[in-house]
Structures are given as C-alpha cells and as structure tokens.
Structure 1
C-alpha cells in the first residue's frame, strides 16, 4: 500500500480530530481489556493459569489430531514470509506445546475485506471446515480501511467514514456470530491490526487513532464470542524498529511474522474462558 493511499484518511481524521478523550479512549479501553485477560493479571496464581490455559485445553482434547482454520486477508495468507507466515509458525509451536498433530487449513485471501470474509465463511464449502475446526484464527479489517482511503476526495471520505466503520463492526459481528453458530466450542483467535507507518511521519498519530478505533471494535466483538483471544500484534510490530520487521509498505517480513506467532502463543497461554 502506497503512502498516498492514506492521505484522504489522514485528512479525514484531522477533520474529525481534536485531542483529549476522543483520541485516547479507544486505546484506554483496549488496554483495560488486555489487562483483564492477560496471564500476568489473572486473579488466580500462575500455576492455575497455566493449567487452565487455552493451550492446555487443546492438549486435553480427546482427539489426537486437531484442526486449525485460518481466515482473512494477505496477513493470514503469509505475505512477506517464505515459510507460511505467522499462522504456520504458531501452529508448529502449538504442536510442540500440546503434543498433538494440528492440521492447518489456511484460507487467507489477498485483498479480502470484512464483507468478503462474511460471504466466504457462509459459503457451503466452508461449513464442514468450520464444524471440524478446534482453533480458528482471523485477520481482517485492514482492507476495509484501504478501500476507504481510495475514495476520491476528503469530503467523500468524511461522509463515508462512519458508514465504513459501522459496516466493519456489523460484518465482524456477523462473522463471529455465524462461526459460533456452526461451531460453539472452537477457540477463536483474532489478530489485531498494527500500524505500518513510520513514527517519524507527521500523520502517524492520526493513523494510530484510526487503527485504535478499528481494534477496539475487534476486541469488543471477540470478547462476546468466547472461548476467544486477541493477538496483540501492535506490541510485536512497533514503529520504533519498523525497519526490522517490515516487508513492503504494510506487510510483515519473516521476523514480523515470527513476532506475531510468539504473541499468538502467549495469548493462548492466558486462562481459558468460556461463557
């Protein structure tokens, strides 16, 4: 994705902008949700947390073979990696930790939006795969933002912003709702969006605000469909060392994918929760 693609969004956020609660609330809420679900901040002791973790839940499954379904866009697909991306890397680590053979079915589609993914998961060919899955990893939403950025003119982008944001929330909710209807027990893993813009760029704070808006939606939706966790990818792919993990203008390279995989495994070490 070229930098010029983001210009309408940057100007849009400046128009919507301001500081204070409007800017900081999404990150504040995300941080609270992270703290509530982390291994370190669980009320139980570390030994109990480890015993009752998502990884241990997979380890105790009766079947020797487990199914891992990956859904979403080019990040799920593994763009920037020659080894299958973060999903495959995490899958290999999870096999070692659980002692199970975990069969990976990567259905990542480059350029997919949340609307595309909703249509895809509801297709007849996906029903059996959803039923079989023990673990479902999802990355979606980035291309919704790109399509907004490609709108002609700031005024049109301003008019469309809330609609695109609402559509993303509706689509993501429908995706999780449909998956959970077809499979009540699979562990759902959502990979949050990260900021690929250099922190030295003048419009970096605006992109950070925009991504926080999108990620807050993802955290809130994911939490409604437990058992589920969110991968805090923005902690792994920071702008401070962007050059170490970036592949092109937006996708992570091999190092970046390995960092996301490590965060995914860590997230699955948090206490297993199902409502």
Structure 2
C-alpha cells in the first residue's frame, strides 16, 4: 500500500506542478520581458548614454507634423471618457513634448475583435492610412475574450478556448504583418489588456489567467515587429482599485483613460529600438 500511496502522491505533485506552470508561466514570461525593457531604460538613464527615446525619435522626424493612427475597439474610441479617451490625451502630450502637431486619426470601432480589425486593415483606404503613419497605437483582443465568455456554459467555453486563443494569435500576427508590409518604420504601440473584474470575485483568478495568455501573445508579437512597445496598463489599472477608474463593467472612466495616457507617455520615453 505504501508503494501505491507514494506513487499517488508523486502523481498528484506532478499534476500540481503542471497546473501551476500552466497558470503562472504567461505572467512569468511577461515579467521577464518587462524586466528586459526596464534594464534598457536603466541604461538609457545613465549620463553617458546617448540613446534617443521614442519621443525623441518622433521629435527628430522630418516635417512639422506627426501622423498618429489609432486602431482597435471601444477603448481606442474613448468609451467612458469625456476627453476623447487615452489616445487623445496622450496625442496632445506627444504634440507638446515634440513641438510638432500630432494629427490623430482615430479608427477605433466599438465591439471590434481581432478578426474584425484584420479585415478592416485589408481595405485600400486603411492601407493608405497605415502607409502615412509615423505612430500606430493598437488596442484589440478584449472582445475576443468577451466572445469566449458568452459561449453557452463553462464547459463549452473551455472547449473553445484553445481555438479562440489560436485564432487571436494568428490574427494579431497577421495584423502586425500587414502593418509592417505597408510601413516598416512606424512606431507600433500596443495597449496591454487590463483586468476589469473585481479582485474579490470568485472567478477573478480565471480572468487573470486568460488576460495573461492574451497579453503574452501581444508582448511576443510586438517584440518581433520593432520599432514597437507595449503600454503596461495593468500596472496602473489595478483590480483592487477598480472603483476609482472604472466607467462600466469594462471601460475606464476619465481617470482610467488619463492613467493609461500617462503610461503611454512613460512608455514612449524608453529608448528607441530599431528592428
């Protein structure tokens, strides 16, 4: 009996380790990518460093204007904000910091999924907009998760999870590919998905796992398409403080959008990295 008991305990331990790895691995990878970016930022802060920031790069571009294209869903649109959303707030700050007119072309579509954005970018008009942009900011993927959550029952959602995740990854890779084909040099800025679920909810750990999976895909895709960077919005839009920054069940309010905008500017002050 003791032999079987030990085998059972070993098997249980392996399962726990495997599940733990499955749950925590995406966050571990994201933290490593953030740490690498922080190390680059630290080196740029040294007096002997001559690295130009993304803001500095935009300032040094020829011409008197910066063309800023915004793509994605209702968060890009500015839902919940009376000030045009984080994209408008950050755009005004970019204009101030560079001394140039930042022309914002907001193409956000409420309810858009990654598949919708992919189809949208395939039109001749959008390709021309992409070609003319100096800066492209993207917020997409949240509605892919909402679609998954609306499936009939948790079992069905679990069955479809792998397919939805794979579809999102393929769509995001193709979205970046289309952008880079039309414009190899524009700075791509991806806004990290944040958790709008109250940390006291019983299903909060599950939403954290899903968002980590989605954000890891975004971090890795962005890293493969330099010059590009991710806004770590989840570092300021924290679930435990959601009442301060939430507008409805999903979207940020004025304060939330302002917090994202500040994170975007802080992110663009990192050293500019070419491909």
Q: What does 1:202-241 align with in structure 2 at a 5 Å threshold?
A: 202-241=202-241
Q: What TM-score do the two structures reach when normalised by structure 2?
A: 0.90
| Aligned twin of 1:59 | 59
Cα distance in 2 for partners of 1:49, 1:194 equals 33
Alpha-carbon offset, residue 76 of structure 1: 0.3
Distance in 2 (CA, whole Å) between partners of 1:220 and 1:268 is: 18
1:18-37 counterparts in 2 under 5 A?
Answer: 19-37=19-37
**Structure 2, gaps ≥5 residues long:** 1-16
TM-score by length of 1: 0.90
Q: Is the 8 A contact 1:75 1:85 kept in 2?
A: yes
Q: Which moved more, 1:255-264 or 1:152-161?
A: 152-161
Counterpart secondary structure, 1:249: coil
1:42 is displaced (CA, Å) by 3.9
Structure-2 separation of matches of 1:133 and 1:50: 26
Structure 1 unaligned spans of 5+: 1-16
Within 5 Å, which residues of 2 pair with 1:4-153? 19-38=19-38, 41-47=41-47, 51-153=51-153
Indicate the structure (1 or 2) with the bigger Cα radius of gyration: 2
> Following the alignment from structure 1 to structure 2, what is the Cα–Cα distance between the partners of residues 62 and 77?
29
The change in CA–CA distance for 1:261 and 1:83 in structure 2 (over 3 A counts) is same
1:191 aligns with 2:203: no
1:44-85 C-alpha deviation (Å, 9 max, x unpaired): 444466751100000001111110000000000000001110
Q: 1:139 to 1:45 in 2, by over 3 A?
A: same
| 1:132-153: CA deviation from partner (whole Å, max 9, x where unpaired) | 1000000000000111111112
Answer whether contact 2:51 2:272 (CA < 8 A) is retained.
no
> What is the alpha-carbon distance in structure 2 between the residues aligned to residue 217 and residue 48 of structure 1?
35
Measure the CA separation in 2 of the matches of 1:96 and 1:47.
25
Superposed displacement of residue 155, structure 1 = 2.7
Do the aligned partners of 1:50 and 1:271 also contact (CA within 8 Å) in 2?
no
